[in-house]
Amino acid sequence: MKRRILLGLFGLSYLGLALWAFPDIRQTIRLHVLSWFGAASTGGPTIAEDIFLSQFRPDPMLKTRQTILSHPFIPTVEFHGHLFTSPTSDPPEDILTRMDQTHTSVFVNLSLFTSTPHSYQKLVEKQPSKRIFHFVGFNWKRMSEGPDFAQKMASDLEQIAKMGGRGVKLWKNFGLMQKYEGKLVTLDDPRLDPVWDVCAKYHLLVAVHTADPPVFFLPVDEHNERFEELGRRPEWSFHKPGLPSFDDVMQQRDRLFTRRKDVTFVALHFGEFAHDLSRAQDLLDRHPNVYVDIAQRIDELGRQPRAAREFLIKNQNRILYGTDGLPDPEKLKIYWRFLETDDEYFDYFPAGTNRKGVWKIYGVKLPPDVLRKIYYSNAARLLRIQ
């Protein structure tokens, strides 16, 4: 008898455990048990226990002030613009209209990859406006032409400088993927000195995008706060064998900044330290020849608004406004709101576009003098315009 009771209890608990594995049944049992004790009501639709992260778009119940800015505090220099996304595309014909609509006085086009004097000339003919600066890439193709590649790259760049080129854009392939004879070329490779000499001689500004946020170098798993984004764009993950680490690439870059004090650099995307402002401060303190832009980093700055405000005010002469793309009113309004208001808990991306991580941002409401420098005068000084 005792044995039969025990066997029965065992069978029941086994069945209970098996049923408990089904979320719908688990939910129903929980609600019924609680309702027996008068602690819950039954009925209503079942609630999914899990949904895909990409589908999780909660509507906040928090009611906050919504400041809609139709224009920035003053007309701006877009220091991190892109006229096109592929090397074969043409600049949009209405670019000047778009600039006017978004109060962009001057636009720095950082779209060019490997550039030659000929490709630069062609682009300037297509889009000759004095309000647009086309920064060029190094002519990496020269690397396949033998050991004097750096002299050839330098001479190409010198021709571009003589044609009026004002700056260089370096992409993240430099440091992570660019190879010479099968070996990665480091950012501080001394063989490139002839090219840096041209940058120094002609006062070419060097806008350098090195690496990406450090979270892109970590495993893409449940601990990765950019999981959703990296799942969508797996090619952005640098957590792969054979690639240098985030810190390796940063150290190469910073050695270059130290070694070439005669060149002015803009470390794009806040020098990749928007997530760690003490490191960003150290970067600026150690390298007086370095500036940073805010493009694509208001998501990081805006989730630490007090520290970010302090940083932006303290380093107000070294920060540039940039938004990474064509003048897009919906996107730019968010940058203006971040810089100019103290609005709370808002999205850092326009409605209907992809997010980076599941968080919101807060405005830093910078003082007018600081806004003037970030929006316009810091970049104007570097570009030698009024």
**Contact residues: Zn ion, CB under 5 A:** 324
Nearer to Zn ion, 323 or 341 (CB): 323
* Nearer to Zn ion (CB atom), residue 156 or residue 324: 324
Whether the Cβ atoms of residue 289 and residue 60 lie closer than 8 Å to each other: no
Nearer to Zn ion, 324 or 340 (CB): 324
* Shortest spacing between CB 324 and Zn ion, in angstroms: 4
Nearest approach, Cβ of residue 206 and Zn ion (Å): 14
| Distance (Å) of CA 214 to CA 49, 94, 164, 207, 245 | 32, 37, 36, 19, 9
Minimum distance, C-beta of residue 124 to Zn ion, in the bound complex (Å): 20
Side-chain-facing half-sphere of 319: CA atoms under 13 Å: 29
Nearer to Zn ion, 254 or 324 (CB): 324
Closest CA to 253 of 235, 269, 237: 269
**Residue 105 CB, nearest approach to Zn ion (Å):** 20
The residue among 229 and 324 lying less far from Zn ion, judged by its C-beta, is 324
167 or 363: CB nearest Zn ion: 167
CB of 153 to Zn ion, least distance (A): 22
Nearer to Zn ion, 113 or 202 (CB): 113
Q: Give the max Cα distance, the chain.
A: 101
Q: Please, which residue, 84 or 345, has the CB nearer to Zn ion? A: 84
CB of 110 to Zn ion, least distance (A): 5
CB of 143 to Zn ion, least distance (A): 23
Q: Cβ of residue 80: shortest distance to Zn ion, in angstroms?
A: 6
Rounded Cα distance, 80 and 364, in Å: 21
On whether the CB atoms of residues 327 and 101 are closer than 8 A, the answer is yes
